């Protein structure tokens, strides 16, 4: 402080006032910033809680008119006859998600291994940029391509009447979630320490052995996270699925039989249903089931990440 006073030839009280004012300004800025951050976090929490309470409360009203057993286990969805069995849509959602993951995870993982471990640097940059672009493409474009190209192709090669169904929807969703799973898996594999790979090669292991016995086990947390995120998108996808699955409330006899899932049934019927009716409450209950599934997936991801950090 004395050096500053001598250099600028200022009285001590003026320098002290200058520093006091500056410290007060910094304190006020920090205090205001903390208030803004806290308010934003609190507002976000309130909004999420309000959505959950509203959807859940509205959905649970369906059980005033429909038994719980009928809603979850009945396969008959005939709202005009007061039959609200959602088993078809729940089974369809789980089947579609499982089939999508069966297709997408192996392909994405092989693609990620190629990008991070095999391809030259210029191909890595090119492919990673392309995958980032694919992530940002709207889902309705994937659905339209599936409707105009994939569904007629499946109809021709299978001989089915429509071509819609689980196979078409799962292939479209595979194309949609593949960039997400691939990029996150690629990042997880790329962060594996080089000394692990060098130690494996020093012991005489081949590239194949190094990748499958060293790299993949070390990156399993990131790969699992990528797979679960892809599954979350597959479960919650609506527009692309609506365009290629057929939207028929029935259990499919095969992979090219039109069927329906929770999201497609909600979006196809919610517009024409009066609010407060049993039909409307049943649709809200389906939305609440999707919300619970999403919450469960988020908890799994957080658990996997925390274990990976430890």
Predicted pLDDT at 46: 93
Look up the domain containing 6 and give its range.
2-64
Q: Give residue for tokens 């990156």.
A: 219
Same domain, residue pair 112 and 39: no
Per-residue pLDDT at 10 = 47
Final residue before a domain boundary, out of 64, 82, 100: 64
Task: Verify that 39 and 91 share a domain, yes or no.
Answer: no
Q: What is the pLDDT of residue 109?
A: 92
Model confidence at 13: pLDDT above 60? no
Instruction: Identify the band that residue 307 occupies on the pLDDT scale cut at 50, 70 and 90.
Output: low
Q: Which of 23-32, 110-119, 148-157 has the lowest mean pLDDT?
A: 23-32
Is 150 in the same domain as 23? no
Does one domain contain both 33 and 129? Answer: no
- pTM, full prediction: 0.81
Last residue of a domain, one of 33, 64, 95: 64
Residue indicated by tokens 């597959």:
234
How high is the pLDDT of residue 27? 74
Instruction: Indicate whether 74 and 113 sit together in one domain.
Output: yes
Residues 57 and 72 in one domain: no
**143 and 211 share a domain?**
yes
pLDDT, tens digit (0-9, with 9 covering 90-100), for 239-248: 888 889 988 8
Tell me the pLDDT tens digit for each residue of 125-181.
888 888 888 888 888 899 899 999 999 999 888 888 888 889 999 999 999 999 989
261 and 141 in a single domain? The answer is yes
**Number of helical H runs and strand E runs in the chain:** 15, 2
From first CA to last CA, the distance across the chain in angstroms is: 47
Mean of the per-residue pLDDT values of the chain: 84
Last residue of a domain, one of 34, 64, 94: 64
- For residues 294-306, give the mean pLDDT: 77
The answer to whether residues 150 and 172 touch, using CB atoms and an 8 Å cutoff, is yes
Supply 238's token pair.
């609506």
pLDDT in tens, 38-97: 899 899 889 989 998 999 999 899 998 889 899 999 888 888 888 888 899 999 998 998
Query: In this structure, what CATH number is given to the domain that contains residue 283?
Result: 1.10.3720.10
Mark whether 75 and 57 lie in a shared domain. Answer: no
Beta bridge partners of 259: 246
């Amino acid at each position: 402080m004395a050096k500053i006073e001598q250099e600028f030839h200022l009285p001590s009280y003026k320098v002290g006032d200058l520093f006091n004012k500056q410290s007060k300004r910094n304190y006020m800025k920090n205090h205001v910033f903390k208030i803004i951050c806290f308010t934003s976090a609190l507002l976000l929490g309130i909004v999420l809680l309000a959505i959950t309470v509203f959807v859940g409360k509205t959905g649970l009203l369906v059980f005033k008119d429909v038994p719980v057993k009928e809603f979850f286990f009945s396969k008959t969805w005939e709202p005009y006859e007061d039959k609200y069995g959602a088993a078809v849509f729940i089974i369809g959602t789980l089947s579609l998600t499982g089939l999508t993951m069966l297709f997408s995870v192996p392909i994405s993982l092989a693609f990620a291994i190629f990008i991070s471990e095999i391809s030259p640097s210029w191909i890595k940059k090119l492919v990673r940029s392309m995958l980032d672009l694919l992530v940002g493409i709207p889902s309705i474009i994937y659905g339209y391509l599936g409707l105009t190209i994939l569904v007629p192709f499946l109809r021709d090669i299978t001989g089915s009447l429509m071509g819609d169904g689980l196979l078409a929807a799962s292939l479209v969703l595979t194309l949609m979630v593949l960039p997400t799973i691939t990029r996150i898996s690629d990042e997880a594999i790329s962060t594996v320490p080089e000394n692990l790979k060098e130690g494996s090669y020093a012991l005489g292991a081949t590239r194949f052995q190094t990748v499958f016995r060293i790299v993949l086990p070390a990156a399993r947390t990131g790969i699992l996270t990528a797979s679960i995120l892809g599954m979350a998108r597959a479960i919650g996808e609506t527009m692309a699925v609506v365009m290629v699955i057929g939207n028929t409330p029935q259990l499919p006899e095969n992979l090219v039989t039109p069927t329906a899932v929770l999201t497609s049934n909600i979006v196809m019927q919610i517009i024409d249903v009066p609010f407060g009716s049993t039909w409307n409450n049943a649709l809200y209950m389906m939305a609440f089931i999707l919300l619970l599934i999403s919450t469960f997936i988020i908890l799994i991801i957080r658990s996997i990440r925390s274990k990976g950090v430890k």
